[in-house]
């Protein structure tokens, strides 16, 4: 009963490096989301997808890219890491709009 799985759990990057945060879900949900969570700031939506091949920007998309080639996977790419991208990143999924979202356990990312 995996739900939403995120890898890696922790990562340290140097400024300017690139990396991909992986997210996969086994609930056959159409909608998938990427959030970042900063202390005292709640969760902010980075990108979302309503199905394979369809993605759109959320509230804070700058510095990130996504793709959705399958229903199960929704990777998040950081191209040129900056200290402001130090955060905890959560992936989530839902069956459709207005339904509760189910979250993974996050990726803690530090950029030094």
Partner 1 sequence: QKEVEQDPGPLSVPEGAIVSLNCTYSNSAFQYFMWYRQYSRKGPELLMYTYSSGNKEDGRFTAQVDKSSKYISLFIRDSQPSDSATYLCAMIEGDSSYKLIFGSGTRLLVRP
Give 79 or 105: the residue with its C-beta nearer to partner 1. 105
Give 4 or 81: the residue with its C-beta nearer to partner 1. 4
CB of 80 to partner 1, least distance (A): 27
Q: Which residues bind partner 1 (CB under 8 A)?
A: 4, 31, 33, 40-43, 45, 48, 50, 58, 90, 92, 94, 97-98, 100-106, 108
20 vs 23, 42, 75, 92, CA distance in Å?
10, 23, 6, 16
CB of 66 to partner 1, least distance (A): 15
Q: For the chain, where are the E strands, in sequence order?
A: 4-7, 10-13, 19-25, 31-37, 43-51, 54-57, 64-66, 76-78, 87-94, 102-103, 107-111
Give 65 or 103: the residue with its C-beta nearer to partner 1. 103
């Amino acid at each position: 009963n995996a739900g939403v799985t995120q890898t890696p759990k922790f990562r340290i990057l140097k400024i300017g490096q690139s990396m991909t945060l992986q997210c996969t879900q086994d609930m056959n949900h159409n909608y998938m989301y990427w959030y970042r969570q900063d202390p005292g700031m709640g969760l902010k939506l980075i990108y979302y997808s309503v199905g394979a091949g369809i993605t759109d920007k959320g509230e804070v998309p700058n510095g990130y890219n996504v793709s959705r080639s399958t229903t199960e996977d929704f990777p998040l790419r950081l191209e040129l890491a900056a200290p402001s991208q130090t955060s905890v990143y959560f992936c989530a999924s839902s069956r459709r709009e207005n339904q509760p979202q189910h979250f993974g356990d996050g990726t803690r990312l530090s950029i030094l």
